[in-house]
């Protein structure tokens, strides 16, 4: 019998991919969206065979009705506290009332359970929702994919192709960072949504790679020696983030504020995934570091 999966945040990049992977696995997929949905994304979902339900997320009755007879809710929403905490609570409360047995929250990041509260604002939003959902009678599974691999393409201090440099903090040139492509994350999430025995926390990483390994791969691909360098100590980095955040109070309303981007990088260099669950499901073709770097490093 087909499982019915309800997806919130289906119009985002990750949400669209999760819907695609669920349909490929034979699930009946419903997407709850606002009436302001982008027509192109609506068409993309329709072509996949996803049933689109336009509702107001403030309408508890409408949310409840869409949750009826659903096997699992997958949340791929993105935003600040009003989304990650407040909106997800609304979806969860409706799911609970409708008797939905399983829920996958919008974590999709480094496993923040190993980080101190206050070190990463966007992780703290997820931590707050975790406290709420863990008090409820529903089977919850979080997918922790580390960092989306795409970040390596954007000329961050970790890999800056314009400056031909690879940076790290502290003495962590050999510290392995967790990366997963969005496609692999979506495929794994679809498997979790269909797996009634999935545990509470699942850590994945398409590849784990250190700054020194990045240097070596770049050398292999381009025959160039990038500058592998220490940026500063982790303590100084943390202090600079606190200062940057305090000096820009308006940035609290920005999803990817500069201080938040720095917090993400700080988190990458202070925690690692300890138990990788990649092999829990068969058939996912994980993208490795060399293959991914070759797609954009020339």
Q: What is the pLDDT of residues 89-127, one digit of tens each?
A: 999 999 999 999 999 999 999 999 999 999 999 999 999
Q: Are strands 139-140 and 102-104 parallel, antiparallel or unpaired?
A: parallel
- Model pLDDT, residue 9: 97
Helix axis angle for 121-133 and 88-98, nearest 10°, is 20
The conformation of residue 137, written as its DSSP 8-state character, comes to S
| Distance from C-alpha of 54 to C-alpha of 177, rounded to nearest angstrom | 39
| Distance from C-alpha of 104 to C-alpha of 139, rounded to nearest angstrom | 9
Beta strands in 69-212 (DSSP E): 72-75, 102-104, 139-140, 142-144, 147-148, 165-168, 177-180, 201-203, 207-209
- Model pLDDT, residue 133: 99
> 100 with 139: CB under 8 angstroms?
no
First to last CA, the chain: 48
Tens of pLDDT, residue by residue, the chain (298 residues): 799 999 999 999 999 999 999 999 999 999 999 988 899 999 999 999 999 999 999 999 999 999 999 999 999 999 999 999 999 999 999 999 999 999 999 999 999 999 999 999 999 999 999 999 999 999 999 999 999 999 999 999 999 999 999 999 999 999 999 999 999 999 999 999 999 999 999 999 999 999 999 999 999 999 999 999 999 999 999 999 999 999 999 999 998 999 999 999 999 999 999 999 999 999 999 999 999 999 999 8
Q: What is the pTM of this model?
A: 0.96
Reading the block at residue 182, the tokens are: 């969005």
Q: Is 64 exposed, middle or buried (0-12, 13-18, 19+ CB in 10 A)?
A: middle
Q: Which helix (H) or strand (E) holds 54?
A: strand 51-54
CATH top class, domain 4-144+181-203+273-279? alpha beta
Reading the block at residue 233, the tokens are: 């100590």
> 9 with 30: CB under 8 angstroms?
no
CB atoms within 10 A of CB 73: 29
The mean pLDDT value of the chain amounts to 97
Q: Are strands 207-209 and 177-180 parallel, antiparallel or unpaired?
A: antiparallel
- Model pLDDT, residue 298: 86
> 16 with 8: CB under 8 angstroms?
no
How far from chain centre, in Å, is Cα 51?
24
> 221 with 293: CB under 8 angstroms?
yes
- Model pLDDT, residue 1: 79
Domain residue spans in the chain?
A: 4-144+181-203+273-279, 149-176+208-271+286-294
CB atoms within 10 A of CB 279: 9
| Distance from C-alpha of 47 to C-alpha of 220, rounded to nearest angstrom | 41
Q: Which helix (H) or strand (E) holds 228?
A: strand 227-230
């Amino acid at each position: 019998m087909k499982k019915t999966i309800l997806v919130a945040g289906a119009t985002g990049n990750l949400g669209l991919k999760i819907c695609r992977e669920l349909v490929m696995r034979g699930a009946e997929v419903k997407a709850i969206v606002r009436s302001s949905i982008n027509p192109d994304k609506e068409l993309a979902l329709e072509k996949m065979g996803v049933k689109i339900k336009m509702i107001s997320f403030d309408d508890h009755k409408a949310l409840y009705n869409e949750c009826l007879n659903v096997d699992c809710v997958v949340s791929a929403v993105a935003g600040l506290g009003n989304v990650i905490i407040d909106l997800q609570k609304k979806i969860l409360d409706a799911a609970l009332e409708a008797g939905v047995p399983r829920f996958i929250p919008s974590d999709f990041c480094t496993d923040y359970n190993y980080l101190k509260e206050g070190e990463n604002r966007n992780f703290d939003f997820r931590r707050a929702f975790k406290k709420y959902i863990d008090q409820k009678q529903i089977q919850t599974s979080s997918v922790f994919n580390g960092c989306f691999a795409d970040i390596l393409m954007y000329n961050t201090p970790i890999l800056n192709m314009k400056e031909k440099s690879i940076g790290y903090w502290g003495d962590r040139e050999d510290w392995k960072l967790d990366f997963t492509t969005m496609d692999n994350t979506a495929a794994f999430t679809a498997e979790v949504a269909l797996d009634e025995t999935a545990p509470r926390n699942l850590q994945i990483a398409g590849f784990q790679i250190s700054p020194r390994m990045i240097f070596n791969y770049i050398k292999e691909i381009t025959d160039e020696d990038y500058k592998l360098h220490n940026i500063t100590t982790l303590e100084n980095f943390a202090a600079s983030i606190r200062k940057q955040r305090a000096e820009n109070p308006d940035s609290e309303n920005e999803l990817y504020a500069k201080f938040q981007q720095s917090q993400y990088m700080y988190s990458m260099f202070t925690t690692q995934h300890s138990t990788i669950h990649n092999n829990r499901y068969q058939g996912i073709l994980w993208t490795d570091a060399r293959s991914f770097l070759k797609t954009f490093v020339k």
